[in-house]
Chains A and B, each alone.
Chain A
């Protein structure tokens, strides 16, 4: 079978996509303004000659095609250049932040996914019951409540008033956060995760539950569910084996999309909790027109989304026999 061939073909299709996306991002960034002017605007002691020197130094005076090709050449060699602010290599900045963001997002996405399964199934089975309305209300609350507001309320209650959990950052080191009086690095990390993970899980959960509930309601109406009941299959097995397998596909799509966009997914949450992550860095870089960093993060996200899409398609073909890959 052509699974390897299929993956290779899809990977080849990704090349023009990546080049296209990088070109568009590059042009949009160029149209947004002069990063050197922006960076030095508040500094009256800088002269026009010094600005000119900086532009020359970062290659901003060359024609755009030349600049783009130079960037592309470096990109192909795995080098994203240096940040305009502080001069740290972009590769180093990204690798120091990517893990923190991935940790926060993966935990939240998976938590939301696994909580939504029993919640979605239950509210579909008990459609129009008080429990269903409760689950739906919580879900709608999760969709409609703004992350910055909910995050700040949590900080206010659990950090400021109760003092149970840290309000900012991913690590307390060197001052570790005591969990039940115990201080160690693992518990410290967990304590820092609780609030941002709660906010993100809540936001993700809402969509998951609504999608699964709708899917289950649709599937439970089908005659093959009646046929399964008629042959005496226990109700639990009917729900979680037969119905769920058919209702879960939209959830897998959402899971694939969330994992694809997760690195850029939570700038607001990261900002509220001063989380040292990529989302926050992306927003800061965009405001400063720090083009090497913007391009670096854009490309990482692009590649992640393309890979997640490919994996989602493969998972689809695996769970649904009607979908074939070729």
Chain B
């Protein structure tokens, strides 16, 4: 890992100048996940509907890039993360990681290929209180992947665990403790160390800071960014917190009710949000200046049920600009700029 790490670290320093033509590290094509809804019967379950959790989404994540995935709770962000790791089975669609077909590998591939994929992608979960086994010491938690992947000789496990702890800002003596002896921020550091234990290239961070104290958030975000520079990591950063997304990601994808409505580089999206939903989201980001007036766009109504999503543009019942066309016709992606895409019939009005 020594040479590996250092070579990546050198490259990692210029990650912003990554060649656009390089094939993406992760490519999601037309990904769909429907959850069946069962009737209330006791003995016979009947499927009476489906939750459109993720509905035909496509996007890419490049090497050494952080992509922010934002949207309200229940819009399918977390499901997307789980689908990429095959923790949930996609209903349809394709996922390619470094050219390898993830869905094929996990449904039909050999054990070794599956383990190889498991080693390249990891996830950090939202709630650090639920994502560490309370019966295991930190050492056992972090060294567990070593037993599965055998990428490190067992006499080096201890050193490696200490090194990982150090990398995430913890001390070697923490290894013998149990999760309940740590604070939320420390637990999230342990979760990150566990994710790093397999030496992954890509980490899905599912709201890693939203359950943490505000004062701890910046520390964890800095740690995530620091690890990217050191190890050349790529991230899919899932969050509803736009300030942290702005701080950490190079590109942002906005989801609404299982669909992508807009995607663009961070600065473009924050400076020039086009989709009415994105504009409403952006207007709600608090400005740390009491003298400036905020013009928050209040969306009428609630997020509709993903079991019966609205026709046409899914956002139309809450959109003040919507008309008959929005109700009937599903908008396709329009290109606002070279790397800025939006799914709205009237995007040119807002661009």
- Which residues of A approach B to under 8 Å, CB–CB? 128, 133, 222-224, 226-233, 242, 245-246, 319-322
Q: How far is the CA of A43 from the CA of B132 in the complex (A)?
A: 72
Let me know if B209 is at the binding interface, CB within 8 A.
no
> Residue of A at shortest CB range from B198?
A231
Cβ-neighbour of A230 out of B85, B127, B133, B178 (below 8 A):
B85
| CB-contact partner of B123 in A133, A226, A245, A246, under 8 A | A226
Would you give the shortest CB distance from B213 to chain A, in whole angstroms?
A: 19
SS class, residues of chain A in contact with chain B: helix
Given contact pairs A231-B144, A242-B133, A246-B134, A226 touches B122 in the complex (Cβ within 8 A): no
User: Which chain B residue shows the least CB distance to A237?
Assistant: B148
Task: Give 1 or 0 for each of B191-218: 1 = CB within 8 Å of chain A CB.
Answer: 1001001100000000000000000000
A73 to B87, CA, bound (A): 67
Chain A residues near B178: list those with CB within 8 A: 321-322
When distances are taken between beta carbons in the complex, the residues of chain A under 8 Å from B133 are 224, 228, 242, 245-246
Distance of B186 from chain A, by nearest CB (Å): 16
CA distance A224 to B140 in the complex (A): 13
Report A-chain residues with C-beta under 8 Å of the C-beta of B134: 246, 320-322
- Separation of A222 and B118 alpha carbons in the complex (Å): 19
A57 to chain B, nearest CB (A): 60
Give the residues in chain B near A227, CB-CB below 8 Å: 123, 125, 131, 191, 194
Complex: chain B residue closest to A242, CB-CB: B133
Q: How far is the CA of A40 from the CA of B137 in the complex (A)?
A: 68
**10 shortest A-B CB distances, which residue pairs?**
A232-B118, A223-B131, A223-B125, A321-B178, A231-B145, A224-B133, A223-B130, A222-B130, A322-B180, A232-B115
Cβ of A320 and Cβ of B135 under 8 Å apart?
Answer: yes
Contacts of A228 in B (CB 8 A): 133, 144
Can you list 5 residue pairs at the A/B interface with Cβ under 8 Å?
A128-B38, A222-B131, A227-B194, A228-B144, A231-B144
Closest A residue by C-beta to B124:
A227
Bound together, the chains give a CA A268 to CA B241 distance in angstroms of 62
Q: Which residues of A contact B123 (CB under 8 A)?
A: 226-227, 230
B115 nearest in chain A by CB position = A232
A226 touches B118 (CB 8 A): no
A169–chain B nearest beta-carbon distance, Å: 42
Given A133-B43, A223-B125, the answer on whether A232 and B149 have CB atoms closer than 8 Å is yes
Most B CB atoms within 10 A — which of A228, A231, A233? A231
Give every chain B residue within 8 A of A319 (Cβ-Cβ): 135
B318 interface residue per 8 A CB criterion = no
Q: How far, in whole Å, are A319 and B61 apart by their CA atoms in the complex? A: 43
In the complex, how many angstroms separate the beta carbon of B328 from the nearest chain A beta carbon?
A: 38
| Most chain A CB atoms below 10 A, which of B127, B135, B180 | B135
B122 touches A230 (CB 8 A): yes
Would you call A226 and B43 a contact (CB within 8 A)? no
Residues of A close to B56: CB separation below 8 A: none
A320→B134 CA distance, assembly (Å): 8
Q: B85 to chain A: which residues have CB within 8 Å?
A: 230
